[in-house]
């Protein structure tokens, strides 16, 4: 359990947005009165997460290195990977719910497992999560759907863990059989996450992230 003063300080730093203050007025009163049992944790955590993603989006869009997928720092981490780690670090300081903290830590472990196989994946995951969150805001998604979107966006490529290195890391064009194997990663990802209760709401995003509006995507050829 985090110290109450730490939580208050971090939340105060984040909640400079007057609209967000209004959305979380009840939650802020509960924190200020030292009554965390009255806190709507799901609503609070999602709103704080969105604010952190917004801050990161502003920083990255002003950083031209973010536009270049080929650049990376000497540690081997791309700018997106480093900055997205900061998002999750901030979330773990901003919330008080031990179970959610363990969930965020697991997301980092899963994301790290993908990145260990495919070095470009961490930056891509961060980028997709930022854009998906912004689209979710524009669509005025409910708190529950926004939570599902954030988790599904960051873990959408988790199925790549099951793709053999000689296919996943191949620099030349894939053969038709290899392409079919590569295209199995959305289904594989959904199978990997199925049965994990707190990730059930992310399964659709993981399974369907390669679908297309005209039905030419995969694996289920959804359209519309």
pLDDT at 6: 53
* Beta-bridge mates of residue 214: 223
The domain segmentation of the chain, as residue ranges, is 4-155, 163-224
* Position 220 pLDDT exceeds 50: yes
DSSP code, position 139: T
Most confident of 20-24, 53-57, 75-79, 163-167: 163-167
Task: Answer whether 151's CB lies under 8 Å from 110's CB.
Answer: no
Classify residue 184 by burial, with Cβ atoms within 10 Å: 0-12, 13-18, 19+. Answer: middle
Classify residue 110 by burial, with Cβ atoms within 10 Å: 0-12, 13-18, 19+. Answer: buried
Q: Among 165, 150, 39, which Cα is nearest to 87's?
A: 150
From 8, 21, 151, 160, active-site residue:
160
Q: Is 160 a catalytic residue?
A: yes
pLDDT at 81: 47
Q: What are the tens digits of pLDDT across the range 150-161?
A: 888 888 988 888
Is residue 31 within a helix (H) or strand (E), and if so which, with residue range?
helix 25-32
């Amino acid at each position: 359990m985090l110290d109450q003063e730490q939580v208050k300080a971090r939340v105060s730093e984040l909640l400079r947005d007057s609209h967000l203050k209004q959305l979380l007025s009840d939650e802020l009163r509960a924190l200020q009165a030292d009554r965390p049992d009255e806190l709507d944790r799901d609503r609070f955590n999602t709103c704080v997460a969105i604010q952190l993603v917004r801050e990161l989006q502003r920083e990255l869009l002003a950083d031209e290195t973010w536009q270049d997928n080929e650049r990376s720092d000497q540690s081997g981490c791309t700018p997106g990977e480093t900055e997205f780690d900061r998002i999750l670090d901030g979330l773990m300081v901003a919330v008080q719910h031990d179970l959610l903290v363990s969930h965020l830590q697991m997301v980092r472990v899963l994301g790290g497992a993908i990145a260990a196989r495919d070095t470009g994946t961490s930056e891509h995951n961060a980028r997709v999560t930022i854009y998906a969150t912004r689209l979710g805001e524009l669509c005025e998604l409910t708190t529950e759907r926004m939570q599902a979107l954030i988790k599904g966006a960051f873990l959408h490529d988790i199925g790549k863990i099951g793709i053999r290195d000689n296919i996943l890391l191949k620099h030349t064009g894939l053969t038709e059989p290899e392409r079919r194997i590569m295209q199995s990663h959305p289904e594989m990802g959904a199978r990997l996450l199925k049965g994990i209760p707190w990730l059930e709401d992310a399964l659709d995003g993981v399974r369907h992230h390669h679908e297309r509006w005209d039905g030419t995507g995969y694996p289920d050829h959804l359209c519309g």
